[in-house]
Amino acid sequence: MKSNVGTIDRVIRLLLAVVLVVLFFTNVVTGTLGYVLLALAGVLTLTSLISFCPLFLLFGISTAKKK
């Protein structure tokens, strides 16, 4: 897999994931929506850690620096 997620994008994804997890565990967001957002936080964290986003590949987007 070729990296298609840049550094700034990775940081934003991690920060958003942290916010979603905090909202879930402080019971601001509950129920089905809470679990969906928690799953989204997991996906954001995973794509940030591996620097690859399948949706970016599908749409031909890349925020990574060209080598």
- Predicted structure pTM score: 0.90
pLDDT band for 66, please (50, 70, 90 cuts).
confident
pLDDT of residue 58: 93
Question: Does 1 fall in a domain?
Answer: no
The answer as to whether 37 is a domain residue is yes
| 28 within domain boundaries | yes
Mean pLDDT of the chain: 94
Range of the domain at 13: 7-59
pLDDT band at 1 (very low <50, low <70, confident <90, very high): confident
- pLDDT per residue over 29-44, tens digit each? 999 999 999 999 999 9
Q: Exposed/middle/buried for 45, CB within 10 Å: 0-12, 13-18, 19+? A: middle
Residue with tokens 């070729």: 2
| 2 within a domain of the structure (yes/no) | no
Q: Per the structure, how many domains does the chain have?
A: 1
Residue 33 in any domain: the answer is yes
- The answer as to whether 16 is a domain residue is yes
**Structural domain contains residue 47:** yes
Q: For the residues 15-35, what does the mean pLDDT come to?
A: 97
Tell me, yes or no, whether 66 lies in a domain: no
